[in-house]
Structure 1
Amino acid sequence: MAFDLYAAFVPTTRQLLGALPGVIAKAEEFVAENHCSDAELIEARLADDMWPLPWHVRSCWMHSAYALDQLAGTEFTPDFTSIPDSWDAMLAMIAEAEDRLADATPEAVNSIAERKIDFVLGGETRFTLPGERFLLGFNLPNFQFHATTFYDILRMKGVPLSKRDYMGNPAGPMFQS
């Protein structure tokens, strides 16, 4: 079987994105049952020098749907302009990413495999990679890091989550009934 960039990237990101609304629902339930505020969770971070909870949803969006849009060209420039500030805003950002990934075609994703992509930060090219390595060696690990950190922050704050909550449906959203 030939390597398929679409199959290596899209189903995994869709699976983990698909789990995030359930994690958020458990966080909202935890707030209601434990008489704490949404802000206690939304402003939480694992360490003082790390981003708070909503930044991790933004990063999941950025390293999935936004990445596909950016990699259609020849540059990837991070976008930190719209950080969600509520559970609803986080859910909307997740839904936007899910919709974009659902619209991605194997042909479009596979077409970026050989294209050279520049990582541009602050107007400066920091490195250049082939699209395949950019998607699998940069975006996918970043996506997984931020999805995991989102889960970890909530777990650290006491939200009763399991590995299954993080993983979602291993078959992926394309196979859900």
Structure 2
Amino acid sequence: MTFSLYDAIIPGNQQIVGAVIGLIEKAEAHCAETDGCTEEDLVQAKLAEDMLPLAFQVKWVTTHSMGAIEGVRQGKFSPDVAPPPATLADLKSGLARTRDELAALTAAEVNGFVGKDMVFAFNEMEIPFTAENFLLSFSQPNFYFHATTAYDILRHRGVKLGKRDFLGQMRVKAG
């Protein structure tokens, strides 16, 4: 069996983006059902004072999935430092857009990135990568970090979540 760059990145991103959409839906329900919990409370919630809030964590799930693919296409990735969406609905909408864009990718395109030069650029810093090393050693770890942190923030704030919510729709053997 051949295992490709597409196989290593895209199905996992699709799975976890879908799971994070589910987390946001559970957060919306939690706000509707819990006295004293506002959507703004959750969107701005942090695990620690020196960490960024839920809104940024969710935004960077999209940034380190489809945003990383766009960076590879352009040959340069710079972090999106614009403010994140301010509502759970807007966060969910961005995730849904990312889910749809990931579904539209072809294996041929993603596998064609192998060996392509690209650079991570932030302020004056530039780090050269090949596309596959950027995706596998930079964006993929960041993607899972931010998805996990979003889960942890919501769980810490009382949203009823379990491990299954984080895993999302697993790709099980058919038949």
TM-score (norm. length: structure 1): 0.92
Distance 1:160 1:121 in 2: 37
Deviating more after overlay: 21-30 vs 49-58? 21-30
Equivalent in the alignment of 2:73: 72
What does residue 12 of structure 1 align with? Answer: 12
Q: Alpha-carbon deviations, 1:82-141, whole Å to 9, x = none?
A: 41100111011101111110111111111111112111001531x111111100111111
C-alpha distance in 2 between matches for 1:44 and 1:79: 20
Helix, strand or coil at the partner of 1:129: strand
How many angstroms does 1:70 deviate by? 1.2
What's 1:104 paired with? 105
Q: Is the 8 A contact 1:58 1:80 kept in 2?
A: no
Q: Which residue of 2 aligns with 1:116?
A: 117
Aligned position for 2:21: 21
Distance 1:67 1:74 in 2: 10
Q: Secondary structure at the match of 1:30?
A: helix
| Letter matched to residue 57 of structure 2 | H
Rounded to whole Å, the distance in 2 between the matches of 1:33 and 1:78 is 35
Instruction: Return the alpha-carbon distance in structure 2 between the equivalents of residues 3 and 78 of structure 1.
Output: 29
Equivalent residue runs for 1:80-91 within 5 Å: 80-91=81-92
Other structure's SS at 1:92 match:
helix
What SS is found at the alignment partner of 1:117?
A: strand
Q: Determine the C-alpha separation between the residues in 2 that align with 1:87 and 1:45.
A: 15
Partner residue, 2:153:
153
* Other structure's SS at 1:119 match: strand
Counterpart AA for 2:65: S
Q: How far apart, CA to CA, are the structure 1 residues paired with 2:171 and 2:3?
A: 20
- Any stretches of 5+ residues in structure 1 without a counterpart? none
Percent identical pairs in the alignment equals 38
Q: Deviations over 1:47-82 (max 9, x none)?
A: 111010010111011001111111012211111224
Which whole-Å CA distance do the structure 1 matches of 2:118 and 2:124 have between them? Answer: 14
Q: Which runs of 5+ in 2 are unaligned?
A: none
CA contact (8 A) 1:18 1:98 kept: yes
SS of the residue 2:65 aligns to: helix
Q: Partners of 1:14 and 1:123 in 2: how far apart?
A: 32
Count of aligned pairs between the two proteins? 172
Residue matched to 2:38: 37
